[in-house]
Structure 1
Amino acid sequence: MADSSFPLPASDEEELFHGARERTDPAARREFLDRHCAERPELRAFVEGLLAADAEAEGFLSGADGTELGPGDGVGAYRLLERLGSGGGGEVFLARRDGTDLPAAALKVLRGSRAGGAFLDGFDLERRALALMDHPAIARLIDAGVTEDGRPFLVMERVDGAPLTRYADERGLALRERLVLLRQVALAVDHAHGNGVVHRDLKPANVLVAHVDGKPVPKVIDFGVASAAALGEEGGLGRSAFVGTPQYMAPEQALAPGPDDVDGRADVFALGVLLFELVTGTTPSPAKEFAGLDLAELRRRVGQRVPIVPSQRLAELGQIERCAVDVTHLRQICERDIDAIVRRATEGDPGRRHPTAAAFARELERAERALDPVTRFQGSRLSGVDPAQLGSTMRSELLLAATAGLERAGFADDRRADLLAGLEAGLEHVNFTTVARRVSTLVVFDPASEAIDAELSAEPLVQATLLQSQGEALLKLGLFERATTPLARAVDLRREGLGLSAPETLESLKSYGVCLRSLGRLIEARPFYEACLEGWTAVAGEDDQRTIDAHNNLGVLVMNEGDWVASERHFRRAVESGRRALGADSITVVRALSNLGAVLEQLGRTEEAARAYREGLAGSRAVHGADDIHTLSLAGNHARLLSVLGDHETAVEQLTDLAARARLVLGDEHVNTLLMLVSLGRAQLDAGRAELALSTLEEALAGLEAQFGREHELVMAALSDVAGAAREMGQVERAVALGADGVARSEGLPLGHPRRGAILLSYGRALVAAGEGAQGFDVVRRACELLESAVGPDHLEVHKARGILAKLEAAGAGNKGEARS
């Protein structure tokens, strides 16, 4: 369930202090405090105490050797327009460059006698640190210089915005919107860390939210206390300096001898506190806990805080004033999605926090997704399923559990080691990727289907999105039969709700068509493929990636139907358009090259096929890596072609390695693994290793038949291969039976399909080997006619078939034996 409007109370002490401090006119300050503290005299007294202490510091920081600046004064090439505030050792003014109409900027200048020593070094650090930054969520450095009396100044992008927490509360931002803002802040902080800069004072007042093109954009400001490790500063801020704000300060920062003794994990701690505050409206430790403490006690108090998570604070607060969601629901959200992030970020030990601000940002992104129904199902239940990773985890957890159990049972070390070694040896025979692939359907997809139906029945288009994601994830796992139901429902819901030409509907038509084709239901699949090509051409144009993909997909369907010449036209169109519109390394071009190589191989143009495979394989490895499903498939095609070209040993070696990798990455039962085994078996047979080939091909046939049934084209091809291997092993009766079974099954293929001729040829050779020379000769002759009619007289397979027929004629049609070809 998505969260709704979510206004929360701000951290009162800090927000009131900064609000009053910004109002330099006494009457305006009194009116501000009267309005906000009318019923809370103790809060007003506390804030006035902070203001008094700040005023004393202001007096200390002003010295006789510096000239007080104000509106109208010139600083370098800039004219001061308005005093915006002060902090650290500097004052901030609105300023504009003299003689220009450039936008006003924020000019920060060091005050009075503090323009020297540690503060001067710190100011220079800020200048140099900001010069390294180039990030949309960091206030940009425009200029820098020194005043006439020697005080340095910086000119920065003016951020016309409110502090982070105030902005979120005043705008009534939903929780998810708050997380989005903080994630941008975290990525900006990570950018700073990448440039060797640690902010050291992250807090709402140093994160201002501005509007850029109508959208909220947080801007991190004030790197004046930053530790710029990459710049090699030594003691720039003084070894005893206490820099930062106690409520947001990491323990090691408070206890460190100097500013260079902390790293980016101190900022991660502050990000965790900001997250806590955005959710609860308070900081884990309020400002009043640190008021009036001397430096030693302040260090001790910051360093010894007791950790707390948002759900605990919410339990203390009860019903939140002005909150659009009740505390019970908010606590549930925190316990599910937020507490763990805050707990890790605010760990006392830096080594147990998120290692980087980017890692913190990634966890925020996962929490964002959990607050949205579509992304919650897609991310946590559907598209994130990785059988190889899940299988590896299952194996590791099993071994860990076994180790713990043996330790509890009190086995001696040597005996425990022997038992674990035996267990590991036994697990070597278990393919955990396959186990995980099966388990995922029970623990991921079935519960997801139930949840989609139960929670979203009133939102059909959201249902359609989730069903589409579920179906695509099942397709990726090779679970085609299971994918049909969610994909068919997605098509119906989108066609009814959006119309046939909507991009979302066309995407569903494509996925459902792919599913049907993969199951061998070619006649049913064709209308979906044709509708996709027609729809994307009309909606997006000829050179759009989706139109190019539609040509590629239709080419695969036509190739499966046996019209290899027509499929070549589609693939060449996809390759040429893809190169022109998308670039040669596009995944669309890589897939089209793979398919083009396959059809060229079927057409007997092996040299062209090899070039297409090599080009596609290089692109896929560069874009996706060696273990990607497309890379493995292309590598398998190329290795298989080596065997066709006569390099059988190299083909067997490469395919053996590829099959092992496919088992590991995809699992034993994935269709791509099984097709890799078919290619390996054929190469083994060509290399004269009939016994090994028979075993490999039998495994592939069993797997394909279990997935697709008896009538699928891939199953028929594998059956014919098994028959050929059995014949080579001398199992002629079995070869004849398998051949006859293949011929019967092939009656379901179109009359002109090349596969019919290949299956008939295998059956005829088996008959001849079994001593049925006359019948076998007649079957081989009919196979040659079918093949020539389907692919033309110049095809390599036709030449092979004619060669077999000629040898049979030379040996005598009635002979029992067959001259080997």
Structure 2
Amino acid sequence: MDDRYLRAKTIAMEALDIAPDAREAWLARRCADDAGLRAEVDWLVTAAHTGPDNPLAPGWPPAGIEPLREGARVDAAQPGQYRILRLLGEGGMGVVYLAERDDGDAHQLVALKLLASAGPHGARLAQRMSEERRILASLRHPNIAHLLDGGSTGNGQPFIALEYVEGERIDRWCQARGLPLRERVALFLKVCAAVEHAHQRLVIHRDLKPANILVTDAGEPKLLDFGIARLIEEHAPAEPTGTAQRALTLAYASPEHVAGKPLSTATDVWSLGIVLYELLTGTRPHQAVESGHLLPDAIVSGEIRPPSSAPRTGVPETDRAASAVGQAVGRIPADIDAIVLKALRHAPEQRYPSVAALSDDLRRFLESRPVSARRGHAMYRLRRFAWRHRWQVAAASVLLVLASGFLFERERQLQQVIAERGKAQALAGFMTELFANADPSRSRGEQITVREVLDRGAKDLRRRTDLPADTRADLLLAMADANQGLALESAAEPLFREALELKRRTGRPPLELARVQMKLAHAYAQQGRNADAIAIHRQAQALLSPDQPEERIERLRHRVAELRNEGLAGTRPAADMAADLERVLVQLGRPDGKDLALIRADALSALADARQQLGDFDRSLRAHQESVALRERYSADDPGELLTARINYATLMLDVDVDRGIRMLEEADRDYVKLIGENTLARAVNLNQLSVGYSRAGRHKEALGASGRAVAVARNTTSADNRLYLQLAVGHAISLRTAGRMQESEALLREVLPGLRKRSAPGVDAVNLAYALSALSRLVLDEHHDTAQALALAREAEDVLQPYAADYLVVYDGMIDPLARSLAMQGNHREAEAAAARYASLLDAHGEPPQSRWRESLAVLRKAIAQ
């Protein structure tokens, strides 16, 4: 429904620019045979033209209007129906409900605003609602809640239906996430864009305040409530805003609004200034007098202190909240003070001439350029120039210092050259000795592998005392990187740990330590030690400051990697993962360089996985598409990263279009072999996903071949206790059993079982162990009729799987079958039936319908027990 509405609005806005006599033919071409789309377009065109001459239907209101209860239905005069879900709020114009719009086979949540009562002012209120409908019909912006429907109900009651925005008011949203100053300004700029869009269409909002700006979970602000908006061309004076109105609304009103003077776009500029003031300080300029009768005078002529020295309100709770905002925002610079104070000048003509000009100054601040609000101050402009070109200025300053202290610096450099020469000689000697180890004459004629060379080099390096600690650390890192390039994570990990410890002892800066920690965490993750990786990522984030640009980037990189490891470990619900990743994406914003772009690509990929688990395939696809696009733009020099992103995208495509997903995975595998090689863990993953695709397409022989190649590649690439290898091996063993190759299946399961038991931990590892135990239990029972061994394996599987049974019914089903049958074959029918009853209770708690595959499996099991 939402897609149809957006298409209709686009067509309607274009139609309004076409002459009425040519419009009908044009609409017929654009809408073709889509009657529903044409009806939506016609309604929007009519809404944009309809005036408020007769806002109330004759005979309305009927006597005794009662509040609507949950489940009540509201019929529109034109086809369409709304089911009331709950009350959202009440105001001077009417009442707003959360409702479900039922339009044939389409359903959508809406905010349904109904004129509650005509009363003595009914005509004026109905006129205002009609005007709101007309204004909203002309607006189309991603940060404005859009109009869906409007007119009169079946009994003549005026109504409008708006996009329902599930979000949090902007001030509370910023504080809940502890956003620093620059991120608050960036979010506020989106609000400005929405207001500017309205101004371009000659609409003044007149009621801008945090309560009318909601921010969604995705970090997008939505502007609401155009109930008192006015068209600029009307030149109507504002109604006097008396103190009888709620103080919070009055607190955002401009001086001319309070005084009842004509309004212009400058009115909204003032309100935006108040909102920005509150976002940055937690208070409003005149909040200390809002509870009394002094507020109107304070708005019209009172002094406004800059945000950096915002006054206290004298209300302890409010001042505590303001203090919390101040801690998150930090120091407010003079540029922001100047921008806010210019937006809040009492005379409208002295404010920013437009919201676009206000936005431009805020962007200038974010880009460290001079802001127009401080134009004319020579020393200020010089400081801005120096900051914007700080690296060039710093270089010039260094040259000046070098020139003035040339003799001293020359001597220092000579000493440094001597030290560097000694270091280089030591490095050259070590590297010469390292590669000499591979000489057959020194290795008794044996061929030495690269791994053996690296192992010997690391052992020699630990004995060297002639190399400085930082040099040893760099050499250890180089050898660790080489091991990691060979997919020898278990060999790389201790080298990374040693290098990190040496750098700590030599007092290296946090950023350098965090980059080594990223390498170490990656080595842990590649071994499937996600808990260790998560701990390292958290240590790194604690080291880094969010206020230092480079450290902030590295901190976000660690945060995304931490969340990805949590997803791989399977220890957190997918919904929680998605929410955390969406918050990180808000912090990242739109990338302005390679580093942030690639972090965003990683975050999007992890978010796509979480959304896929939640069954939200459309949003998952969009996240994957954006991730791949970023990789294509910024990872041209790293084909492995780009191919991994393509594989992730293709894997999701299997759930949407299996044949297309298979083609994408086949293409990715060919490219992987050509560009990188045959034996990498990423290729093993790709082959396994290709096996899944073949199986779904009914190509079972190809599926078994692909899963076998995946296991072989993983075995050639990594260690026998690597999580990925173990997972792939268990999956292949079960495929072998399905294909009737029982001996091969049993042999593979027994081969990997020690590794699975060794690394069993809460989450995915435990489930994988239970899966293998269940599969082996069934094989032992069916092939060898060994009930004692089968029962022992199944009971171990049940113990391991206990915390995760509801989330992994396929594993539980595979476990309970050999468990119950073994008991029955031993004559213990009571315990066998108890096992089946546990399964039935689990299915009941899970809400499985009577015809589900799991219910059918349980019925077959009970029949086997009875026999």
Bucket of the pairwise TM-score, normalised by the shorter protein: 0.3 to 0.5
User: For the pair shown, which has the larger CA radius of gyration, 1 or 2?
Assistant: 1
Q: TM-score, normalised by structure 2?
A: 0.41
Q: TM-score, normalised by structure 1?
A: 0.43
